[in-house]
Amino acid sequence: MAAHPDILTTVEPAPAKPAHGILRLINRVRVELIDALDRELSAFDISAPQLFVLSSVAYGEADSAAGLCKSISYDPGAMTRMIDRLQQKGLVRRVPHPEDRRAMNLELTVAGKALFPQLIAAKDRVHAQFLRGFSAEDRRMLETLLHRMLANR
């Protein structure tokens, strides 16, 4: 049956491909960075999230499970299990809080302090890979822009 000449047939355009917006790009970079860091740290039997915990403790950014949960947005139950694994590996230990008998602080063990520079070197290799071709000014600008985004929350 032929179409009536007075009726125009309209064809719906294909949906536009979604733009790779800022949030999507930041998430892709985050995922790729974590995957690359996990691969680099696998020689040490350490994961990227475990390095984040070790770094937070080593740099004094957090000294308790609660502080770590807050600083790296991690579930308390998962954090306890991660600290348990790091303690089993001999890298961190729980010590009594000096002012609160109910609380425990975290610190790196001698083995944790010895391994930490190697883990930071692995992290630095991953950063260098992802920032290859960036000038020092590009790196500073990227860091400045990311800090500005965080300040806007």
The confidence score (pLDDT) of residue 119 equals 98
Q: Residues 6-56: pLDDT tens digits?
A: 555 566 766 656 656 888 999 999 999 999 999 999 999 999 999 999 999
Residue 114 included in any domain: yes
Determine the number of helices (DSSP H) and then strands (DSSP E) in the chain: 6, 2
Q: Which residue has the higher pLDDT, 97 or 116?
A: 116
Residue 14 inside a domain? The answer is no
Question: What does the block give as tokens for 104?
Answer: 């425990």
pLDDT for res 78: 87
End-to-end CA distance of the chain: 61
80: which residues sit within 8 A by CB, 6+ positions away?
65
Dihedral sign of CA atoms 66, 72, 73, 79 in order = negative
Is residue 2 situated within a structural domain? no
CATH number where 76 lies: 1.10.10.10
Give residue 74's domain range. 35-143+146-150
| pLDDT the model gives residue 143 | 96
Tens of pLDDT along 100-139?
778 788 999 999 999 999 999 999 999 999 999 999 999 9
Query: Does the residue 53 lie in any domain?
Result: yes
| Residue 105, strand partner residues | 95
Total domains in the fold of the chain: 1
- Domain for residue 6, yes or no? no
pLDDT digits (tens, 9 = 90+) for 77-93: 888 899 999 999 999 99
pLDDT, position 137: 97
- Residue 138 identity: D
Q: How many CB atoms lie within 10 A of CB 15?
A: 6
Cβ atoms within 10 Å of 123's Cβ, excluding its own: 19
26, part of any domain: no
Answer yes or no: are the C-beta atoms of 72 and 52 closer than 8 Å: yes
Higher pLDDT, 150 or 62: 150
